[in-house]
Amino acid sequence: MPPFAPTLMQISGFARYIVAYPVFLKQRVPMSREKKVTPMKLAAGSIRRKRTNGCFTYRCQVNGRRTEISLQTKDYHEALKKVADLVPIAQAQTAEVVAAHVNQARGFVRQADDLPLEEAWDKYIRHPDRAMPQIHEILSYQASFSEFVEFATRPVTEEELRHRIPHTRVQLVKEVTPTVALEFAEYLRRLPIAVDTHNRKIRRIRKVFSVLNDYYIGDNPFRAKSLFRKPREEQNSIIRRQAFTKEEENRLLEELRSPAHRLMNKEEIRIVYIIGMYTGQRLKDCVLLQWQNVDLIHRRIYVKQFKTGKEVSIPLAVQLYDALMEAQKWKCDQYVCPKTAARYNKTDAYGKNVGNNLIDIDVVRVIRWIGLEPSVSVPGRKKKMTVYGFHSLRHSFASFCAEAGVPKAVLLSILGTESEIADKYYTHVGNEAQEKAIAAISGTTFENSDKTKLHKALEFIDQINGPLPGCMLQLREILMGA
């Protein structure tokens, strides 16, 4: 036997190797494929195997720090499924979003019931947490929410398609997302309505959704501040309510005494005007003034304001005292102006007050009699803006008090509120101080314009040669006292 001839044991060992090699290759094929895909880059992070035959891991960035999470599986496709559940958590921007995903994965998130938008108002109006304002405001809530429901459930219009305006059609309350709320807010912005009207609609709808929170998941879709408009959007077109002058107030009373124009309950309307002129109160407080709140002996009236609920006490001016004495001739119930009060309290079939508009029309009619236009058109708004109305008497009251030097605190005690009206007419209080400051900076001497005029008038009188007439002497004494 040649020396290089294999032994029997060598031959049998080689045979076993040849038989086992195909089995080894069969076992290694899947692993080789897995090796090719393990460094797979995903939308967020990457997936890889920890060791040669270990479990897959998911590597990603969380809050700027590299994090590696074990997927607890050796199967590549199962690992991909687990990564798909982890990607939203890795991409979350806030802790609240992360908690929401975790709770959903653990099955802690509640399931919202299906509630069609068309049936949502019926649920809201029977809910114990609903808003409970006056009937007219409840109807406004319903109108605003119905407007949203009509918008959200309708299909896309041709105009929206033509201008590529996004519109998401939904049917259920839980389908209303912040995106749908934003689309509705943009729709309102395209309407010719005031900023306050826009914001009131959004606030009402937000209240409805806050009550119906059992029918959607997450936060209120109308909670975002971006849904509201800012007052500065109207600063170029805003029209301020104007105050009456004393001459205009006298003309109003003259027209109400004149038989030239006819008006329902004209004498009572004149008394209402006088109450407004000499108290600065709102129309409702003047119309519904009761005799029990009038103290003719001590010449004072007491008003609990309907709007604010604040009680104010106001001394009676001579003109107002005479008007109230005149009103006693038709005293028949608790109201100073009974027929006008009954008309003001008139309601419709739903219980909504409609009499306030009737009285307001009567008041505006008198303003037109003296040649003033109560309202003007404003670009971008469907309804006209009021310039003159009964509320102008409140502005006039503040204006006259400011001109007479009445302290602002005293005015507020009569008007009954920290009113913008007072701020508007008391801005002149700081003008003199500002002029002094500018004079000091510029190196000039500040002179009060009123005092300068008085000195010039006295100098002019003193320059007159000869004896002064009696009227001039009296005028000089008046100026000296000023």
| Mean of pLDDT values over 360-368 | 95
Pick from 244, 286, 284, 254: nearest CA to 398: 244
What's the pLDDT score for residue 437? 66
Using CA atoms, how far apart are residues 309 and 303, in angstroms rounded to an integer?
9
Q: How does pLDDT run across 309-329, given as a tens digit for each residue?
A: 899 999 999 999 999 999 999
Question: What is the C-alpha to C-alpha distance for residues 474 and 480, in angstroms, rounded to an integer?
Answer: 10
d(CA 283, CA 389): 10
Three-class secondary structure of residue 445 per DSSP: coil
pLDDT reading at 207 higher than 70: yes
Min mean pLDDT across 92-106, 237-251, 366-380 is at 92-106
Q: List all residues 6 or more positions away from 416 whose beta carbon is below 8 Å from its beta carbon.
A: 281, 303, 305, 308, 310, 311, 312
Give residue-wise pLDDT tens across range 186-199: 999 999 888 999 99
Average pLDDT, stretch 459-464?
A: 76
Q: What is the mean pLDDT of the chain?
A: 82
The number of residues making up the chain comes to 482
For the stretch 391-424, pLDDT in tens is 999 999 999 998 888 888 899 999 987 667 888 8
Does 265 have pLDDT greater than 50?
yes
Q: Is the pLDDT of residue 108 over 50?
A: no
Q: Which of 83, 92, 90 has the alpha carbon at shortest distance from 38?
A: 83
Question: Is residue 110 scored above 60 in pLDDT?
Answer: no
* Choice between 148 and 239, residue whose per-residue pLDDT is larger: 148
Contact yes or no for 234/194 (Cβ under 8 A): yes
For the residues 146-174, what does the mean pLDDT come to? 94
Question: What is the predicted pLDDT for the residue at 229?
Answer: 94
The answer to which of 26-30, 288-292, 425-429 has the lowest mean pLDDT is 26-30
The average pLDDT across 253-263 equals 94
The answer, yes or no, to whether residue 247 has pLDDT greater than 50, is: yes
Percent of the residues in the chain that have a pLDDT greater than 70, as a whole number: 75
Is residue 38 pLDDT above 90, yes or no?
Answer: no
Query: How many helices (DSSP H) and strands (DSSP E) are in the chain?
Result: 20, 8
Mean pLDDT lowest among 5-14, 114-123, 170-179: 5-14
Alpha-carbon span 287 to 363, nearest angstrom: 11
- pLDDT of 27 over the 80 cut: no
* pLDDT at 30 exceeding the cut of 50: no
Query: What percentage of the chain has pLDDT greater than the value 90?
Result: 50
pLDDT band at 74 (very low <50, low <70, confident <90, very high): confident
**Exposure class string for 317-347: b at 16+ Cβ within 10 A, else e:** eeebbebbeebeeeeeeebbbbebbebbeee
**φ, ψ of residue 153 in degrees (nearest 5):** -95, -10
Gap between the Cα atoms of 90 and 105, Å rounded: 14
| Tokens (6 digits) for 232 | 């500065």
Q: Can you tell me whether residue 466 is helix, strand or coil?
A: coil
Residue 267 confidence class, pLDDT cut points 50, 70, 90: very high
What does the pLDDT read at residue 31? Answer: 43
Q: What is the pLDDT of residue 32?
A: 41
Q: Does the structure show a pLDDT above 90 at 123? A: yes
pLDDT at 444 over 80: no
pLDDT at 262: 94
